[in-house]
Structures are given as C-alpha cells and as structure tokens.
C-alpha cells in the first residue's frame, strides 16, 4: 500500500449524555455540516421517545441503544468474481462497521417515514426498532436471509 491507513479521529462525547456513540450518530445524521441542527433533531427525538415509551425501567437513551443493537447486522454478503461468475459471499462484519451500518439504516429509514418532522420520524423508527419491528430491522433480517441463502459460497472467502 502506498498510503497508510487513515488515523481514527477522536470523537468528542455529546453535551447531554456524555456519550461518543451519540456524537457518531449525530455526525451521520448531519447535513451540510449543520451539527447543532442535527443535535437538536436527535435530542428532540430522544424526548419524544421518553414520552412515548412503554417500558418504564429503561431511559430513552437505553431504548435508542437497544434499537441500534436490534438493527445491527452480523453477516453481510460481498460480491466476488470467480471465473467469470459473480458470487454473493457471506462474510462476518467488523464491529465498527456493524455499528455504522446500523446507524445508516436507522437514519435512512427514519427519513423515508411519513411523520411530520425529522425528530418524530426518528423517534418512531427508534421505538419500532427497539420492539424488533420497522423497516431498519426488516433490512437486517433481509441481509441475514441473503447471507443464509448464499452460505454455500462461503468457501470463496477472500
């Protein structure tokens, strides 16, 4: 390799929960470098989750973390050409990639929902994912199903 691997930049924990995972999520949700807007959206969504939650033992942040872990895929398929044919090969995912994939899915499917504002969309998707339902969880199940279907090609691993 000519270039070295990029250094991981340290993330500052967020102001309200003092959690780096929250900052990472907000950074992914942010558009056009508008971080304060993204934080406002996230905190409003968390407040909505706090009001709507049914489980009293858990805080809204814990519900969000549960939602993330429910959306996290464990295997994914990667394309690989073997002798003129392209195979979908199931592979394990690195831990940091699991988290970022889960975040991407949660944010994208929240954006596609049809509530009024982004905080409401995000809150609805978080609550759905925490209950093992919603579009983001469906995406994870589809990914796992695809990996299961292509298990026969796992000996082609890179």
pLDDT, one tens digit per residue, over 8-24 is 888 888 888 888 888 88
* Annotated domain spans of the chain: 44-49+61-156
Domain 44-49+61-156 in CATH 3.40.50.1260: no
CB-based contacts of 72-77 (< 8 A; 24+ apart in sequence): 72/98, 72/99, 72/101, 72/102, 72/140, 73/98, 73/101, 73/102, 73/140, 73/143, 73/144, 74/98, 74/144, 75/143, 75/144, 75/147, 76/101, 76/143, 76/147, 77/143, 77/146, 77/147, 77/150
pLDDT, one tens digit per residue, over 65-106 is 888 888 888 988 888 888 888 888 888 888 888 998 999 998
- The per-residue pLDDT for 62 is 85
What's the pTM value of the predicted model, to 2 decimals?
0.84
pLDDT, one tens digit per residue, over 53-64 is 777 777 888 888
């Amino acid at each position: 390799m000519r270039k070295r691997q990029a250094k991981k930049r340290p993330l500052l924990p967020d102001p309200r929960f003092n959690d780096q995972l929250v900052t990472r999520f907000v950074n992914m949700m942010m558009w056009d470098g508008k971080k304060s807007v993204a934080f406002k959206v996230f905190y409003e969504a968390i407040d909505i989750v706090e009001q709507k939650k049914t489980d009293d033992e858990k805080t809204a942040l814990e519900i969000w973390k549960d939602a993330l872990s429910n959306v996290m895929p464990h295997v994914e398929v990667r394309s690989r050409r073997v002798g003129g044919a392209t195979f979908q090969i199931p592979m394990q995912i690195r831990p940091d990639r699991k988290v970022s994939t889960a975040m991407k899915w949660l944010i994208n499917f929240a954006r596609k929902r049809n509530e009024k504002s982004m905080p409401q969309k995000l809150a609805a998707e978080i609550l759905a994912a925490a209950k093992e339902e919603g579009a983001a969880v469906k995406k994870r199940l589809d990914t796992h199903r695809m990996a299961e279907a292509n298990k026969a090609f796992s000996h082609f691993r890179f």
